[in-house]
Amino acid sequence: MLKTAFTKLFQLREQAARIRPGADDGFDAHEKPFLEHLDDLRGTLIKIAVTLTVSTVACFAFHKQIYELVQYPAKSKLPEIAPGVEHSIALSLDGWVTKSETLLLERGQVRDLAVTLERTPLGPREALIRIVVEPRDARVKVGDRWYEGGSPYELRVDARRWRVEIARSGFRNEEHDVELRGGQSTDIEYHLERERDRDRPNNGSGGNTPPPTPPPVGGGGPGTLTFAATPWCNVTIDGAPAGQTPIVNKSLPAGRHRIVCENPEIHVTRTVTVEIVSGQSTRQRIALQ
């Protein structure tokens, strides 16, 4: 009964549409009415539902056989790992030296193989920079490229001066110039400070205080430096001896300073340039090996 009422309703609507001026323009007498399109859609949905139901029941009935079929490639024995045969295993990763290991296994033998890869030696015009950031999900920009994988960041770049920017929502951004030497690794550590509320009343007048002026980079009062190295090293800052690492909260004038880190036991010397900002603490850590 309801279908009949809808059929008559749509027929009246189509008849009214045809008697309007210009209604015959582009009219196709063989075009399906609207209700027939709905019937076709219903039939298609019913076919889809039946197909899904039958497929689900069939897969559930034969789920063990399907699972074994999927596992078959992993369970099949390969001739190259047959027992009693000498095997060569090569491990490779971009930026690391490929390492090969030879082993001979007997039938039923289980052996754990631990392999430590070494980094590909840096070229004379390459440098490695490791950036440790707190909070760890802060973004790092080196040059014109942003990195968002999370701290620590380990980047292989050209040996030159780079502009490093650290940013995270809710924290004050930091920008520093870092001088990277060819064939050397440099470790840098940043701790971002939370943004303070800058919209405070001014002497009860209800106004807003202007944002604080950022400290100068190359002038103003001194800042502090905390410097560490793994393993230890003797430190000289701008040619003056500063003792052995770690160097903690050493007061330095604002600006750039040249730090030489030398370990006589392993005969390794690293030279880095740090930028001290007036009134702020700068932390840096490097790896000598």
Quick: pLDDT tens for 196-221.
644 445 544 444 544 444 444 445 67
- Residue 177 CB neighbours (<10 A): 13
pLDDT value at residue 212:
45
Residue 266 makes CB contacts below 8 A (sequence gap 6+) with 231, 288, 289
265 part of a folded domain: yes
85 and 169 together in one domain? no
85 and 183 together in one domain? no
Could you list the residue range(s) of the whole structural domain that residue 51 is in? 34-69
DSSP, residue by residue, 3-69: HHHHHHHHHHHHHHHHTSTTTTTT--TTPPPHHHHHHHHHHHHHHHHHHHHHHHHHHHHTHHHHHHH
pLDDT value at residue 55:
92
157 and 275 together in one domain? yes
156 and 282 together in one domain? yes
**263 close to 288: Cβ distance less than 8 angstroms:** yes
**182 close to 125: Cβ distance less than 8 angstroms:** yes
Mean pLDDT of the chain: 78
266 part of a folded domain: yes
167 and 186 together in one domain? yes
Phi, psi of 173 (to 5 degrees): -70, 155
Global pTM reads 0.38
C-alpha closest to that of 276 among 143, 141, 176, 129: 176
Instruction: Please determine, for residue 129, whether its predicted confidence score (pLDDT) is greater than 70.
Output: yes
**280 close to 215: Cβ distance less than 8 angstroms:** yes
**Tokens coding 182:** 């060819």
**Tokens coding 245:** 């690492």
113 and 143 together in one domain? no
97 part of a folded domain: yes
76 part of a folded domain: no
4 part of a folded domain: no
115 and 131 together in one domain? no
**Tokens coding 96:** 């690391």
pLDDT band at 122 (very low <50, low <70, confident <90, very high): confident
Q: Are strands 126-134 and 185-191 parallel, antiparallel or unpaired?
A: parallel
146 and 235 together in one domain? yes
Number of domains into which the chain is organized: 3
- Region of poorest pLDDT, from 78-87, 132-141, 228-237: 78-87
263 part of a folded domain: yes
206 part of a folded domain: no
138 part of a folded domain: yes
Boundary of a domain, candidates 57, 92, 120: 120
Of the chain, the end-to-end C-alpha distance in Å amounts to 87
101 and 133 together in one domain? no
246 and 152 together in one domain? yes
59 and 166 together in one domain? no
Q: Mean pLDDT throughout 168-173?
A: 87
- Region of poorest pLDDT, from 31-35, 138-142, 190-194, 201-205: 201-205
C-alpha closest to that of 165 among 137, 149, 186, 141: 141
pLDDT value at residue 210:
47
Cα separation, 178 vs 188, in Å, equals: 9
C-alpha closest to that of 165 among 178, 181, 152, 155: 178
Cα separation, 163 vs 260, in Å, equals: 21
98 and 131 together in one domain? no
Beta strands in 85-192 (DSSP E): 86-91, 99-104, 126-134, 139-142, 145-147, 153-158, 161-167, 174-179, 185-191
